[in-house]
Copies of this chain bind each other. A is one copy, B any other.
């Protein structure tokens, strides 16, 4: 098994919400999957599709989104290694939004049948997946909170706190920096802002010496102040103890 095909990020992620036994981890590792490399901005699943497999992100960045009638895009979530963004397709036949890569990525397809088989044999893994879906929903609620009630800079700050935490739980941060290859218009579409305003708000956060985002790399200059600016409280990520401590 090569580096790219491995499921360490997935395991790490599941363990972040539910402790797993060696046997359960093994069962996950044994899940059959077919890998596929993708370019940037490639659609993986389309709004309205009916699929018989789930997508596991092995490497890269992806997002879920939907378009308005007038063509503007709303991004609902960003996805990183270890995420199964369309886990819902296991229970809801047709997709109600799309999934696409942001950067060149490696994804794996795991058939619904094998996941169903897995969770039938391992109730604790079923619980772990169930939790994962619920955390996904909790993240959506925070997203709403931000768009509905926070100013642009604090909204952006919150997104950065969340992404940093999520990347950290799968081991993809490096000290106080991490890869975050989002364009300003990605951020705008995620947070209900215009690109121009995202640009100006980023300058504010930079001037306040909270973060620095350049060339797809996020540097957290002052985590505590950033959290304060964002009103970020990681409780909604429901991380178990070893993962829960602030970065």
Q: Which of A27-35, A86-94, A173-181, A201-209 contacts B (4 or more CB under 8 A)?
A: A86-94
Instruction: Output the residue of A66, A143, A144 with the most chain B CB within 10 A.
Output: A144
Query: Using Cβ atoms and an 8 Å threshold, which residues of chain B touch A135?
Result: 92
Q: How many residues on the A side are at the interface (Cβ–Cβ under 8 A)?
A: 39
CB <8 Å contact, B144 and A74 = yes
Number of copies: 2
Partner of A96, one of B48, B136, B148, B236: B236
CB distance from A222 to the nearest CB of B (A): 18
Query: Using Cβ atoms and an 8 Å threshold, which residues of chain B touch A138?
Result: 88, 92, 96
CB <8 Å contact, A192 and B92 = no
Interface presence of A196 (CB below 8 A): no
CB <8 Å contact, A74 and B130 = no
Q: Interface residues, chain A, CB within 8 Å of chain B?
A: 48, 64, 66, 68-69, 72, 74, 76, 88, 91-94, 96-97, 127, 130-131, 133-138, 140-141, 143-145, 147-150, 191-192, 231, 235-236, 238
Closest 3 CB pairs of A and B: A148-B192, A96-B236, A140-B140
